[in-house]
Structure 1
Amino acid sequence: MQLETQTLLMEPIAETDWPLFKALHTIPAVIEKCFDAPSDDELEKKFHARLQAWTPESGAWLTLVIKEKSSGGKVGITGFFVDQGIAEMGYLLMPEFYGKGYGTESLHAVIHWAEEKLGLNLFRAVVTEGNVASERVLEKCGFRLQKKIPEAYEIGGELYADHVYQRAS
């Protein structure tokens, strides 16, 4: 499986993507508005779970590595898991690729593929309060804020609201 846009390529995550996966889960600029850095053991388990064979019924994440066509540079990861017919979306990008529109471009491509190939038509994403850049990406991709759940998530000992976004085709 490979998804392609004007400037990006997306392919399933592989063993060789461990350095990228680890960086995306430990670099403060990436995780500060998403989650606390996991322990090494938790991170390894999460990575190996992402390497498993994926089907919409598996309940596992479809994790795609985003690469820049022009340089081959690894931009980040994107993907989703399906729960009761709803695709729960997620993405993380390396800081050097912020502001280039790659989050929006890759999310559009994944949604289009999920609609066309899997017949999915309901998408959800949960964003931590204060993660304005991710909220903008979601809005550009047709997501709308459905609800705010106060004090739903803790990062660095501080409680934040979850902003739940949804998109219907």
Structure 2
Amino acid sequence: MIELTTDRLYCRQIQSTDWPFFLSLYEHTDIMRYVSDTRSHADIHDAFDSRLPLWSPGSPHWLCLMVFDRATQQPLGVTGYIHREDDCAEVGFLFIPQAHGKGIGYESLRAVCDYAFHDGGIRRMIATVTAGNHASKRLLEKTGFVQEGELREAFWLNGQWQNDWLFGLLRHEYR
């Protein structure tokens, strides 16, 4: 099982006991504003179940890590990545509002990138962000990701077509 630690955070692969927290993230309208329209309980549970199998580099499903405050053991969010090619992976993250603006996303994303580039065999990390999600854009850029483009009307969300911002980070660029 993958476990990552930082000064303030402990990250471990998601477990069945994490279902209530996962559900609360995916039902929170502010958290999901740029991610997904309202989903049924069953659809959220399917997404959760797909992340439960033991993960190792090259697995076809998401490495989904629960992010905890090391001092309080409070869950703060989820992060992780999924292979898109053998050496290319897409990163993702969701955090509770109480964790926003405190460097939690940055610290956890750095841990994920450290693992992916040094132990996971990843050469290139990518991220797709719905245009307008400036907080995620700032987080990715602070971590070293470069905006590589924008896909126009690429994603149906909130009853209309949305543009997607595309980001990339190469192992040799990562600091």
Instruction: Tell me the equivalent position of 1:114.
Output: 116
Instruction: Tell me the equivalent position of 2:166.
Output: 164
Moved over 2 A (4+): 55-58
Instruction: Tell me the equivalent position of 1:11.
Output: 12
Instruction: Tell me the equivalent position of 2:151.
Output: 149
In the TM superposition, what is the alpha-carbon distance from 1:81 to its structure 2 partner? Answer: 0.7
In the TM superposition, what is the alpha-carbon distance from 1:157 to its structure 2 partner? Answer: 0.2
Tell me, which stretches of 5 or more residues in structure 1 are unaligned? none
In the TM superposition, what is the alpha-carbon distance from 1:111 to its structure 2 partner? Answer: 0.5
Instruction: Tell me the equivalent position of 2:82.
Output: 81
* SS of 1:25 mapped into structure 2: helix
Instruction: Tell me the equivalent position of 1:47.
Output: 48
* SS of 1:118 mapped into structure 2: coil
TM-score (norm 1): 0.97
Write the distance in 1 (CA, Å) between the matches of 2:49 and 2:121: 27
In the TM superposition, what is the alpha-carbon distance from 1:53 to its structure 2 partner? Answer: 1.9
Name the amino acid aligned to 1:109: A
Cα-to-partner distance string for 1:134-155 (whole Å, 9 max, x where unaligned):
0000001110011100111111
Cα-to-partner distance string for 1:54-96 (whole Å, 9 max, x where unaligned):
1222211000000001211100000001121211000000111
Name the amino acid aligned to 1:51: L
Match 2:140 to one of 134, 138, 143: 138
Write the distance in 2 (CA, Å) between the matches of 1:167 and 1:57: 19
Cα-to-partner distance string for 1:7-39 (whole Å, 9 max, x where unaligned):
000000001110111111110110012111211
In the TM superposition, what is the alpha-carbon distance from 1:42 to its structure 2 partner? Answer: 0.9
Name the amino acid aligned to 2:78: I
> In 2, are the aligned partners of 1:150 and 1:161 still within 8 Å (CA)?
yes
Tell me, which stretches of 5 or more residues in structure 2 are unaligned? none
Cα-to-partner distance string for 1:85-119 (whole Å, 9 max, x where unaligned):
21100000011111111111100001101111122
